C-alpha cells in the first residue's frame, strides 16, 4: 500500500511518494520571457490533486507521459481554496516500485471472499445444464482475471476495481431471501442470470489506467457483448435445452428493464423481472452510498448537485445512530 495518499495530503506539509499522471500540460507564463511551467493532475485511488512545476518544466516534461506513475517530492500549498503541490523533484517510477491497484479506486471488500461466494453459487446449481454453462464461462482463466478486476460501470455505481465482482456477489446475497419469498422463481435460472448478465462488461470497459469505453463498448455495448459471450459458450453444449437458452438469453437482454435505458427487451418472465429489479436496487443503493460517502466536503449536510440524478443528496446534519448511547448504558 502507498504511504502517502492524496486524500491525506495537508497544506503546509512535505509530500514524497508515487502518483499516477492523469493530465499533463505545458503552459506559458503570462510574461512570456519567463518561458513555460508545467501543470499536472496527479491521482491515486483516494482522489486527485493539482500540481505545478515552475522550474525547467519543458525538459522535465519530456521524461514522462500521461498514464505514467511518477515519484514526486514537493510542498502542499493552497491555491484558490484548493490544495496544490509545488513540485520540487519528479522522476518516472520503475515498474517494480509500485502496484497499479494503488492508483485506481478499488473495492473495499475482500476479492477472495467474494469470488468464493460465486464459486459456491455455481456449485449449488442443481440444473446440470446451467451449471455446465457457468463452469465453462468462469473456467476461462483469462476472462476470470478481467472479471475479478473490472469495475461494474464507468461512473455511476460500483465504479472501482473489483466493482463488477462485488455487484454480482451482492445480487447473489439479495436473491436468496427473494427466492424464499417467491418459490415460483426458478432459483437456478435466477442465479445463472445474475452470474452471466454482466460478463460483457469485461469487454465494454478498459480498466488499465482509467475506466473508458472500448470501441466494442460503444458500438455494441455490454448487454450485447454479454449475449455474444453467452452464445459462444452455449454453442458447444449440444444438449442444452432450447427453451432454457431462450429464457437465459432473455434475462441478459432485458436486465436494463426499459427501452430508454438501452435495453433491447423488457422483462417478460418472472426471473427476468427479479433480475432487473434486484440489479436496479443494488446499483442505486451503491450509487447513493458512493455519492454521499465520497462527497468532497464532508462537513456539509448536502452533496453537490448531481447532474445525472438531477438533485442534491442529503447526508444529514447529525449522526443518526443511537447505538453508542445504548452502549454507554
Kindly identify the residues of this chain, within the stretch 81-100, that bind its own copies according to CB under 8 A: 81
> 3 or 243: whose CB is closer to its own copies?
243
With binding defined as CB under 8 A, does residue 65 bind its own copies?
no
What are 16's strand-pairing partners? 73
Rg (CA), the chain: 24
Can you tell me which of 189, 192, 202, 205 binds its own copies, judged by CB under 8 A? 189
State yes or no: residue 33 binds its own copies (CB under 8 A). no
Nearer residue to its own copies within complex by CB, 7 or 314: 314
Closer residue to its own copies (CB): 26 or 100: 26
Shortest reach from residue 230's CB to its own copies, in Å: 10
Crossing angle of helices 163-181 and 187-196, rounded to 10°: 170
* 67 versus 128: smaller Cβ distance to its own copies: 128
Alpha-carbon gap, residue 323 to 210, rounded angstroms: 40
Indicate whether 281 belongs to the interface with its own copies (CB under 8 A): yes
In terms of CB distance, is 100 or 309 closer to its own copies? 309
Which whole-number Å values give the CA distances from 230 to 6, 129, 235, in the listed order?
41, 13, 9
- Residue 92 sits at φ, ψ, to 5 deg, of -65, 135
Q: In angstroms, give the least distance from the CB of 97 to its own copies.
A: 30
> How far apart are CB 224 and its own copies at their closest, in Å?
6
Q: Is 261 one of the binding residues for its own copies (CB under 8 A)?
A: yes
Tell me which stretch binds its own copies (CB under 8 A): 66-74, 133-141, 182-190, 196-204.
182-190
CB-nearer residue toward its own copies: 93 or 270: 270
Map the footprint of its own copies across residues 113-152, applying CB under 8 A: 126-128
Measured from the CB atom, is 80 or 299 closer to its own copies? Answer: 80
Q: Is 66 in the site for its own copies (CB under 8 A)?
A: no
Which residue of 289, 300, 304, 305 would you call a contact of its own copies, by CB under 8 A? 289
Report CA-CA distances (Å) from 20 to 51, 158, 196, 214, 305: 12, 21, 33, 21, 28
Residue 177 CB burial class (10 angstroms; 0-12, 13-18, ≥19): exposed
Closest CA to 185 of 175, 195, 173: 175
User: Least distance in Å: CB of 294 to its own copies?
Assistant: 11
Number of amino acids touching its own copies (CB under 8 A): 85
Compare residues 20 and 272 and give the one whose CB is closer to its own copies.
Answer: 272
C-alpha to C-alpha distance for 205 and 216, rounded to whole angstroms: 9
Considering the rule CB under 8 A, would residue 215 count as an interface residue with its own copies? yes
Using rule CB under 8 A, residue 227 touches its own copies: yes
Residue among 152, 211, 267, 295 that touches its own copies (CB under 8 A): 267
Q: Which stretch binds its own copies (CB under 8 A): 57-65, 66-74, 94-102, 279-287?
A: 279-287
Q: Does 240 bind its own copies (CB under 8 A)?
A: no
Amino acid at each position: 500500500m502507498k504511504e502517502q495518499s492524496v486524500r491525506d495530503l495537508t497544506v503546509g506539509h512535505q509530500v514524497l511518494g508515487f502518483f499516477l499522471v492523469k493530465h499533463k500540460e505545458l503552459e506559458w507564463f503570462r510574461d512570456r520571457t519567463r518561458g513555460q511551467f508545467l501543470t499536472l493532475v496527479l491521482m491515486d485511488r483516494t482522489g486527485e490533486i493539482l500540481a505545478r512545476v515552475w522550474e525547467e518544466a519543458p525538459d522535465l516534461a519530456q521524461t514522462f507521459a500521461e498514464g505514467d506513475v511518477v515519484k514526486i517530492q514537493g510542498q502542499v500549498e493552497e491555491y484558490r481554496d484548493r490544495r496544490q503541490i509545488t513540485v520540487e523533484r519528479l522522476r518516472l517510477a520503475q515498474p517494480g516500485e509500485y502496484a497499479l491497484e494503488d492508483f485506481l479506486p478499488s473495492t473495499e471488500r475482500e476479492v477472495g471472499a467474494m469470488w468464493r461466494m460465486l464459486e459456491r453459487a455455481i456449485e449449488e446449481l442443481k440444473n446440470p445444464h446451467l451449471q455446465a454453462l457457468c463452469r465453462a464461462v468462469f473456467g476461462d482463466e483469462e476472462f476470470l482475471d478481467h472479471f475479478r478486476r473490472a469495475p461494474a460501470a464507468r461512473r455511476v455505481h460500483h465504479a472501482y476495481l473489483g466493482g463488477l465482482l462485488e455487484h454480482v456477489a451482492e445480487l447473489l446475497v439479495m436473491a436468496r431471501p427473494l427466492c424464499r419469498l417467491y418459490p415460483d422463481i426458478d432459483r437456478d435460472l435466477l442465479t445463472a442470470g445474475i452470474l452471466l448478465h454482466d460478463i460483457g462488461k469485461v469487454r465494454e470497459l478498459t480498466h488499465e489506467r482509467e475506466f473508458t469505453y472500448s470501441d466494442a463498448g460503444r458500438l455494441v455495448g455490454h448487454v450485447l457483448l454479454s449475449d455474444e459471450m453467452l452464445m459462444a459458450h452455449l454453442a458447444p453444449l449440444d444438449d442444452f435445452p432450447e427453451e432454457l437458452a431462450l429464457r437465459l438469453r432473455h434475462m441478459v437482454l432485458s436486465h436494463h428493464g426499459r427501452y430508454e435505458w438501452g435495453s433491447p427487451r423488457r422483462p417478460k418472465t418472472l426471473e427476468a423481472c427479479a433480475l432487473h429489479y434486484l440489479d436496479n436496487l443494488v446499483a442505486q443503493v451503491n450509487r447513493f452510498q458512493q455519492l454521499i460517502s465520497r462527497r468532497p466536503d464532508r462537513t456539509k449536510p448536502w452533496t453537490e448537485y448531481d447532474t445525472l440524478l438531477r438533485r442534491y443528496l442529503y447526508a444529514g446534519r447529525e449522526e443518526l445512530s443511537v447505538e453508542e448511547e445504548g452502549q454507554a448504558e
